[in-house]
Amino acid sequence: MRASTRTRWRRSLLGGAMAAVAAAGGVVSAGTATAAPPLQEVMLVGNNWEGTADVIRSTGDFAKIGRIDLIPDKAERLREIHLNPLRLIFFLGIRHTVGEGHDQFTDDLYTTPDGSAIVVSRPSFADVASIDTATGRLKWRFPVSGFRSDHMAVSPDGSRVAVSASTGNTVHVLDIATGRQLGSFKTGDKPHENVFTDGGRHLWNMSIGEVNNDFDAPRQDWLKGDRKITVTDASTFKVVKTIDMRERLDAFGGKDFSDSVRPVAFTPDESTLYFQVSFFNGFFEYDVAADKITRMKTLPENPDTSDDRTTFVNDSRHHGMSMNPAGTKLCVAGTMDEYATIVDRATLQEGPLVPAAKPYWATVSGDGRACVISESAADQVTAIDFATGRKIISIPVGDHPQRIRVARLPAGWTGPATG
């Protein structure tokens, strides 16, 4: 069985830090871990509407460690936008559609292996930026194709970051240290989530189609655009496979379900994929080798949630999935139904419904014991015990938290230096 994505990521962080020391002239030996700069494991919480990241502990009490501004160049970016009528139209369009009346300044975010920078996708600025964790200053910036950036993924060795360019129907793969583009590939309409698999040899992208129109009835599904999973060779950027879930859903008996694949979770051996789709309070199980959907799980509806699909934020009734390192439990964020729950993977039986205010993402704590969700309507993140399904603690964060990622920062870091 392959190592889990989390294990590979931890190894890559250590390896990247040691490589950075060696490049700077430091001495690294197999038995001298002290040669690498000391790092602390943390969690980054991206505050979408605020343009900041809160840094919290990755385990235990999840206490807040510090905060960093991820839009230090805001004035310059806004000046550029207001001088370009077309960019201004899209900037305002993002605000009044996917932004729910707000600018989207922070979407996805990761640290470099040595913890010297946070790399962040900034939808309203249509870019990816690297922010120095010591000074808070902009290190590099990459404008994406089109007018909006979205979900990202980091390769297992920590050296590459992939970002979806939503309106450009493109995924860019960048050198995480320099921002230099290593390659790109075309996708379906509105590329969304990205996942590296096979030790970084392949990259999966899920395109969600047009989520901002009101053609939401099943009979109008074809008006949502070209939605598919695009699997590419992560070295050559050539497409090796496309998966149209419309065909698989129809074969399973799910003709009335959307084929817009939202957040996903692979099993540790990457043999099985769990995925959410637009409008659905539940998820599907997909056997990768057999290329077919094998099970469906319908989760409870909140009686206070309208069934009017046009009221769902960006078409997502449920948005956010993660899996514990053992591959035995799923954590699901029931966005519009306002709860999160732990689901047993063998039986697909859900646990207690933990009340949550528009939970929009789910990840796994550093020690693998808890699922951590972002409560975007309550400006907090909440940890839920995988073993019991019960809430552990909630931590206040900034305005409209969404993506949460385990990361590494220099030991003792509490924020950029001032002055």
DSSP state of 48: T
- pLDDT score at 6: 42
Q: What is the pLDDT of residues 277-290, one digit of tens each?
A: 999 999 999 999 99
56-111 confidence digits (pLDDT tens): 999 999 999 999 999 999 999 999 999 999 999 999 999 999 999 999 999 999 99
Is residue 26 pLDDT above 50, yes or no? Answer: no
Who's near 28: CB < 8 A, 6+ residues apart?
A: 18, 21, 22, 35, 36
Q: How does 232-270 read in b/e, with b if 16+ C-beta sit within 10 Å?
A: bebeebeeeeebebbebbeebebeebbbbbbbbbbbbeb
Is pLDDT of 29 > 60?
no
Q: Which domains does the chain have, with CATH numbers?
A: 5-410 (2.130.10.10)
What's the average model confidence in pLDDT over 109-132?
A: 98
Residue 28 pLDDT more than 60? no
Which residue from 104, 201, 110 is spatially nearest to 163, judged by alpha carbons? Answer: 110
Residue 215 banded pLDDT, cuts 50, 70, 90: confident
Q: What is the pLDDT of residues 136-162, one digit of tens each?
A: 999 999 999 999 999 999 999 999 999
What per-residue confidence (pLDDT) applies to 5? 43
The two counts, helices (H) then strands (E), for the chain are: 4, 28
User: Which three-class secondary structure string do you get for 159-174?
Assistant: CEEEEEEHHHCEEEEE
Out of 6-20, 39-53, 210-224, 279-293, pick the least confident.
6-20
Question: Given this model, what pLDDT does residue 223 score?
Answer: 87
